[in-house]
């Protein structure tokens, strides 16, 4: 039986597989070469194994995303590591106005397999310009898909699918998740089981066998661990049964696997690390309110980061981001409030 894998290892392996499978695939980014192997060591070993395909670049976020677009246009594929997802803002024009637009603006479909990998999120004390969760700003660009790494979805399969779709994509990767364990064999932890349902890439459902949930928690991969910790607590301390749904693709998001459970539970909490306002959760909530009209017991509730920068000091940072406690608290309020 294969050894347990951390999420970063699994991503490293997925990248290696993708590079080995397709000699036309490039991996570009700042400081990704060995021996350094990237700021988060996700690319460690890859430049040694695939020196022709793995290219270290200057500090030129817009330039290298443009370069990736050119490679894709010429029939290659490219993955760009943006060292901190916060800096994807520098490439926003290349993503929105070149890569995504080129897929359809020439009156026929132009494949554009470009993936921006964005290490994301806080809880690491890196401060306001290195801790953001900017998913929402990339949602709703025609022909641009948004994904987030999760510990429940096979990383190799996910990456292969993203590339094969032939559309530009942004893959958000929670930095804390990197050191977490990939789940397998259906076990989320010693209490909760999981399965992945729905069309590719699917929604992971984390739940108890045979205990119908009072509330469905919907969360992207980066929040999933905090949500699971909250669910344990709710179960053990308050005897509230909940179920977690983690979609790997945030946009376009396929909520059909969520609808049935959400409709039965009648309560849905969406948790995300984004700051308040125009969040991915609002999009999810709108779909659920519409699709489940008359079946919910109360409005979908959104729990997200405060309307605030992410402070550097760990205790201040913790207070603005959703944590186990605030998630559990929100569910309790919904169930007993």
Q: Which does 141 bind (CB under 5 to 8 A by kind): its own copies, ligand TPP, another protein, none?
A: its own copies
Structure tokens at 250: 């945030």
Sign of the dihedral through C-alpha 30, 182, 315, 282: positive
From the list another protein, its own copies, ligand TPP, none, which binds 75 (C-beta under 5 to 8 Å, kind-based)?
another protein
Cβ neighbours of residue 300 under 8 Å, at least 6 residues apart? 268, 269, 270, 284, 285, 288, 289
Q: Does 107 bind another protein (CB under 8 A)?
A: yes
Compute the Cα dihedral for 42, 46, 47, 50 and give only its sign.
negative
Among 148, 173, 283, 317, binds its own copies (CB under 8 A): 283
d(CA 314, CA 204): 30
Q: How far is CA 25 from the centre of its chain?
A: 22
In the complex, what is the shortest distance from the CB of residue 217 to ligand TPP, in angstroms, rounded to a whole number?
A: 34
Give the nearest distance from C-beta 266 to another protein in angstroms: 30
- The yes or no reply on residue 251 touching its own copies (CB under 8 A) is yes
φ, ψ of residue 267 to 5 degrees: the values are -135, 130
Contact status: 40 vs ligand TPP (CB under 6 A): no
Q: Which does 110 bind (CB under 5 to 8 A by kind): ligand TPP, its own copies, another protein, none?
A: another protein
Stretch 131-170 residues interacting with another protein (CB under 8 A): 143, 145, 160-167
- Answer for which of 48, 49, 51, 59 binds ligand TPP (CB under 6 A) is 59
**Cα–Cα distance for residue pair 38/29, rounded to 1 Å:** 8
286 binds, among ligand TPP, another protein, its own copies, none (CB under 5 to 8 A by kind): its own copies
73 binds another protein (CB under 8 A): yes
Q: Is 13 in the site for another protein (CB under 8 A)?
A: no
**Half-sphere exposure in the Cβ direction for 217 (13 Å, CA):** 35
Region binding ligand TPP by CB under 6 A among candidate stretches 83-91, 168-176, 211-219, 260-268: 83-91
Q: Are 102 and 110 in contact (CB under 8 A)?
A: yes
DSSP state of 181: B
Helix (H) or strand (E) holding 332: helix 324-336
Query: How many amino acids of this chain bind another protein (CB under 8 A)?
Result: 83
312 interacts with another protein by CB under 8 A: yes
For the purposes of burial, counting CB atoms within 10 Å of the CB of 111, is it exposed (0-12), middle (13-18) or buried (19 or more)?
middle
Contact 109, 165 (CB under 8 A): no
Task: Identify residues 165-224 at the interface with its own copies (CB under 8 A).
Answer: none
Which residues of this chain interact with ligand TPP, rule CB under 6 A?
A: 30, 59, 61, 83, 87, 90
Which residues of this chain interact with its own copies, rule CB under 8 A?
A: 86-87, 89-90, 92-93, 96-97, 101, 104-105, 127-129, 134, 136-137, 139-142, 251-252, 274-283, 285-286, 289-290, 293, 298-300, 302, 307-309, 311
């Amino acid at each position: 039986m294969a050894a347990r894998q951390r999420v970063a290892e699994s991503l490293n392996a997925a990248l290696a597989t993708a590079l080995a499978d397709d000699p036309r695939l490039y991996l570009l980014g700042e400081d990704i070469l060995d021996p350094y192997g990237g700021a988060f060591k996700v690319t460690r070993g890859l430049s040694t194994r695939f020196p022709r395909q793995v290219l270290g670049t200057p500090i030129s976020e817009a330039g290298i995303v443009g370069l990736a677009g050119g490679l894709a246009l010429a029939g290659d594929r490219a993955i760009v590591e943006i060292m901190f997802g916060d800096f994807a803002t520098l490439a926003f024009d290349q993503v929105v106005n070149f890569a995504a637009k080129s897929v359809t603006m020439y009156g026929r479909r132009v494949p554009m397999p470009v993936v921006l990998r964005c290490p994301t999120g806080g809880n690491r004390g890196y401060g306001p310009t290195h801790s953001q969760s900017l998913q929402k700003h990339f949602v709703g660009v025609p022909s641009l898909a948004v994904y987030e790494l999760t510990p429940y979805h096979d990383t190799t399969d996910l990456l292969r699918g993203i590339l094969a779709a032939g559309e530009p994509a942004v893959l958000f990767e929670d930095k804390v998740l990197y050191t977490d364990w990939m789940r397998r064999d259906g076990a989320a932890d010693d209490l909760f089981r999981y399965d992945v349902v729905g069309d590719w890439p699917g929604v992971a459902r984390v739940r108890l066998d045979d205990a119908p949930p009072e509330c469905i928690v919907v969360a992207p991969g980066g929040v999933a661990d905090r949500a699971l910790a909250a669910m344990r607590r709710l179960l053990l301390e308050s005897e509230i049964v909940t179920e977690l749904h983690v979609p790997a693709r945030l946009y376009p998001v396929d909520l059909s696997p969520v609808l049935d459970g959400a409709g039965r539970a009648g309560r849905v909490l969406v948790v995300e690390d984004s700051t308040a306002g125009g969040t991915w959760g609002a999009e999810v909530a709108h779909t659920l309110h519409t699709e489940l009209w008359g079946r919910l017991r109360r409005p979908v509730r959104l729990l997200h980061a405060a309307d605030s920068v992410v402070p550097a000091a760990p205790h201040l940072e913790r207070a603005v981001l959703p944590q186990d406690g605030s998630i559990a608290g929100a569910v309790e309020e919904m169930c007993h409030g």
